[in-house]
């Protein structure tokens, strides 16, 4: 009898006042799903939510995805810039047990080679309990350009976190 491979439980949180209000259709969640479907070699399932740029709500949603929904991987899209409403990295940092700055550094480097203004992105990554959390900008093109480059580091981190369970 073959061992069934455990599904990777992936939470995707789109952080956007306008998408939350229905002013425009969110494109971050479908873009992340598409990239993962093309890049991942493992089976996964998705949890997803669109929320406004409110720091406490972002924190509570990350906590819910980690602690209650047991997501192995939580990817956020939106709220990583320098404006006053861009608070996703702050929320992520507040709820993580460990920060993994290398993810944000690599994502900015990749983006900078394409567009110099990406240097103002504040995206970060961290670990909350057994969940890896990675921030992405809200721009779908940026997600397409950067997410494939970190699939192997993501899988390595998830493997390390599984060893600790």
pLDDT value at residue 40: 82
Cα–Cα nearest to 89, from 140, 129, 53, 50: 53
pLDDT value at residue 10: 98
Residue 113 has pLDDT above 50, yes or no: yes
Residue 53 has pLDDT above 90, yes or no: yes
Architecture of the structural domain at 8-28+44-164: 3-Layer(aba) Sandwich (3.40)
Residue 1 has pLDDT above 50, yes or no: no
Confidence of residue 24 (pLDDT cuts 50, 70, 90): very high
pLDDT value at residue 41: 80
Confidence of residue 42 (pLDDT cuts 50, 70, 90): confident
Residue 2 has pLDDT above 60, yes or no: no
Mean pLDDT score across all residues of the chain: 94
Query: Can you tell me the mean pLDDT for 20-34?
Result: 97
Residue ranges of the domains in the chain? 8-28+44-164
pLDDT value at residue 19: 97
Inter-residue contact 108 to 73 (CB < 8 Å): no
């Amino acid at each position: 009898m073959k061992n069934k491979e455990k599904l990777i439980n992936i939470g995707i949180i789109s952080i956007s006042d306008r998408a939350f209000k229905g002013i425009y259709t969110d494109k971050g969640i479908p873009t992340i799903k598409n990239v993962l479907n093309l890049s991942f070699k493992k089976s996964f399932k998705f949890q997803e939510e669109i929320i406004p740029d409110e720091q406490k709500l972002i924190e509570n949603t990350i906590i819910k995805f980690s602690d209650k929904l047991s997501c192995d991987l939580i990817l956020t899209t939106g709220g990583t810039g320098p404006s006053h409403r861009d608070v996703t990295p702050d929320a992520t940092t507040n709820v993580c047990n460990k920060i993994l700055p290398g993810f944000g550094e690599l994502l900015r480097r990749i983006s900078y080679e394409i567009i110099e203004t990406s240097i103002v992105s504040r995206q970060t990554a961290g670990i909350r309990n057994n969940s890896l959390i990675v921030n992405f900008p809200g721009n779908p093109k940026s997600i397409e350009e950067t997410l494939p480059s970190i699939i192997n580091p993501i899988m390595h981190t998830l493997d390390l976190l599984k060893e600790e369970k």
